Amino acid sequence: MRLLIVAAAFAGLSSALPTQECCTLLSQLYPTKVYAPDVTAYSTANKRYWSSTCSLKPSCFFEPNTVPEVSAAVKLFSQNNCKFSVTAGGHSTIPGAANNDRGVTVAMVNFQQREIDNSTNIMHLGPGNRFYQAYAEMDKYNKVGVLGRYAQVGTGLLLGAGLSYLNNQEGLGVDNVKAYEVVLANGTVVTASRTSNSDLFKAMKGGGDNFGVVTRYDLQLYDRPATVLGGLITYGEAGMATLEDLTYDYHANVAPNDQQTHVLPNWGYNAATGLREAFVPVFYNKDVSVLPPSLKGWADAPTVKNTVRRTNSISALALENNEGYGNGLVQEQRTFTVYANKQFFHDVNALYLEWSKKYQHIEGFYTLHCNMPITPHAVAEGIRKGGNSLGLAGSKNQTLSVLYFGLSFKNLADTAAVFPAHDEFVESVKKIASDRGILHKYIMWNYSAYNQKVIEGYGPESVAFLKRVSKKYDPTGGFLRLVGGQKLPE
């Protein structure tokens, strides 16, 4: 099953060389930075993936330190038709996106730049950072950017979309990238921003890894109060019914009208206990000691634990959220988008629970469901800040909800029994959304599964634009042919 998925991720790579040759050529250039399977650094690199489905068998890992090294490597891959992948934080669950079998994997782990320019509020962030590191640097200056909410997630998030604490006010993560420094297929290093290669800039905001290797992100930061209110609220079965109503209210009323708020409702089903639980990061970007009326319902529902407090550390919030999300289990994520709808939210939760209960016998089985809003204001911010390739413009003046379906279990051997059924289940609820007229075409790159057609979901206009940009910056289609993951349609 895993091999089939990797093969699907690399469909169209028949001309790539499945060979050791590229690693040999690369190690002639950088003998101390290319790791073959028999060295410890190789196994360390191969364990940096969140999902065990992504710890594959590349012929070597390459860990460059400088932009010229990345440039020389990418040029070598293009000239020799070498299959390769790029990885930052290793949290994609698509096997073959950030790693591969019998190719080269470029791990950006050594790109650790974290530099804040106080006068412009821009942060220069190396792609090897995890978000708790980036937030820790911002915390020193009482600033915050639009990154993810989980400490260990990496900068790949800034190529797809990016759901985060400030979305309701500032738009998505990609909309708050001011510039990407990119190594193109021919090894040229360019800056993509509103004023330089602006077509590439727009394309990269959603176009993922189809255009080049990012060696630096310049991020817009925002001043924040000395303390904010934030923490994690957990609930047992007793809180469930209230949470469903709160989730809809957050989408329809709170997120659009009280833009300093952020809530991420996570509904879990634990097969080991047969019970549901919910854990909900709650955040308010104001220097106050109690939650505002718009968020009070989350604390008033029957809770198991509530850590919401005044804090000066967003890094600490990201670390708290990340507890229990360690590497090494089998993970799969799927997603689709609807216009927020109370009855549908309720029905999907009930259906996912019913489906999950069928797999109680799978060791370590756990499912997670979330509803995450993108408000009309967030969409408008994306346009105002230079546009992106997501195709969200023109959505009705209604909050969208990105629905997340995550499953996790222990043994790779169980993937064949569970993955296709998960796909079938998610497609079945998507059909219900379509029948009810609330389905939106958008599929968020960040949470997509290997066989979900993300780029097509951006719409024909965006697909045509992305293809034009690809032809211009990568005329021989190196990144389309040699790198796996979510590719532009043929």
Ligand X SMILES: Cc1cc2nc3c(=O)[nH]c(=O)nc-3n(C[C@H](O)[C@H](O)[C@H](O)COP(=O)(O)OP(=O)(O)OC[C@H]3O[C@@H](n4cnc5c(N)ncnc54)[C@H](O)[C@@H]3O)c2cc1C
Q: Which is nearer to ligand X, 207 or 387 (CB)?
A: 207
Taking the complex as a whole, how short is the minimal distance between the CB of residue 388 and ligand X, in angstroms? 13
Instruction: Identify which of residues 41 and 432 has a Cβ nearer to ligand X in the complex.
Output: 41
Q: How far is the CB of 168 from ligand X (least distance, A)?
A: 14
DSSP 174-235: GGGEEEEEEE-TTS-EEEEESSSSHHHHHHHHHHTTSS-EEEEEEEE-EE--S-EEEEEEEE
User: Least CB distance from residue 107 to ligand X, whole Å?
Assistant: 8
Alpha-carbon distances of 303 from 179, 238, 308, 325, 452, rounded to whole Å: 42, 8, 12, 21, 36
With contact defined as beta carbons under 8 Å apart, do 17 and 83 qualify? yes
Name the residue nearer to ligand X (CB basis): 152 or 341: 152
Separation of alpha carbons 417 and 348, rounded Å: 22
**148 vs 382 by CB, closer to ligand X:** 148
List all residues 6 or more positions away from 328 whose beta carbon is below 8 Å from its beta carbon: 47, 52
Q: Which residues bind ligand X (CB under 6 A)?
A: 50, 85-92, 97-98, 108, 127, 148-150, 153-157, 159-164, 208-209, 213-214, 325, 446-447, 485
Least Å distance, CB 91 to ligand X, is 3
How far, in Å, CA of 239 to CA of 262, rounded? 19
Q: Angle, to 10 degrees, between the axis of helix 131-139 and the axis of helix 314-322?
A: 160
> Which CB sits closer to ligand X, 2 or 119?
2
Min. distance of Cβ 128 from ligand X in angstroms?
A: 9
Nearer to ligand X, 153 or 301 (CB): 153
- What dihedral do alpha carbons 109, 111, 116, 119 form, nearest 10°? -150
d(C-alpha 266, C-alpha 243), whole Å: 10
Both tokens of residue 361?
A: 């016998």
> 158 or 438: whose CB is closer to ligand X?
158
235: DSSP letter: E
Nearest CB to ligand X, comparing residues 88 and 379: 88
Whose Cβ is closer to ligand X: residue 213's or residue 348's?
Answer: 213
Q: By the 8 A CB rule, do 482 and 13 touch?
A: yes
Q: Least distance in Å: CB of 83 to ligand X?
A: 13
Pick the closer one to ligand X by CB: 56 or 308: 56
Instruction: Write down the least CB distance from residue 192 to ligand X, Å.
Output: 12
Judge contact between 220 and 122, C-beta under 8 A. Answer: yes
Coil, helix or strand at residue 13: coil
| Residue 208 or 239 with smaller CB distance to ligand X | 208
In which order are the strands placed within the sheet that holds 189-193? Answer: 114-117, 122-125, 213-220, 177-183, 189-193
Nearby residues of 157 by Cβ (< 8 Å), 6 or more positions away: 89, 91, 131, 147, 148, 173, 446
**Which CB atom, from 115 or from 287, has the smaller least distance to ligand X?**
115
| Residue linked to tokens 């923490």 | 231
| Smallest distance, ligand X to C-beta of residue 103, A | 12
Query: How far apart (Å, rounded) are the C-alpha atoms in residues 391 and 441?
Result: 9
> Closest by alpha carbon to 305, among 272, 278, 337?
278
Q: How far is the CB of 211 from ligand X (least distance, A)?
A: 8
Name, in order, each residue with C-beta under 8 angstroms of 270's C-beta and a sequence gap of 6 or more: 276, 277, 366
Give the shortest CB-289-to-ligand X separation in angstroms: 26
In angstroms, give the least distance from the CB of 33 to ligand X. 16
Min dist. Cβ of residue 86 to ligand X (A): 4
Contact between 124 and 216 (Cβ < 8 Å):
yes
Q: How far is CA 347 from CA 138, 155, 432, 484, in A?
A: 40, 34, 10, 35
Q: Phi, psi at residue 314, to the nearest 5°?
A: -75, -25
Could you tell me the smallest distance in angstroms from the CB atom of residue 355 to ligand X?
Answer: 21
| Cα separation, 421 vs 270, whole angstroms | 18
Burial class for 293, CB neighbours closer than 10 Å (0-12, 13-18, 19+): exposed
Choice between 155 and 341, CB closer to ligand X: 155
- Spatial contact of 214 and 265, defined as CB atoms under 8 Å apart: no
The whole-angstrom distance between residue 409's C-alpha and the CA centroid of its chain comes to 20
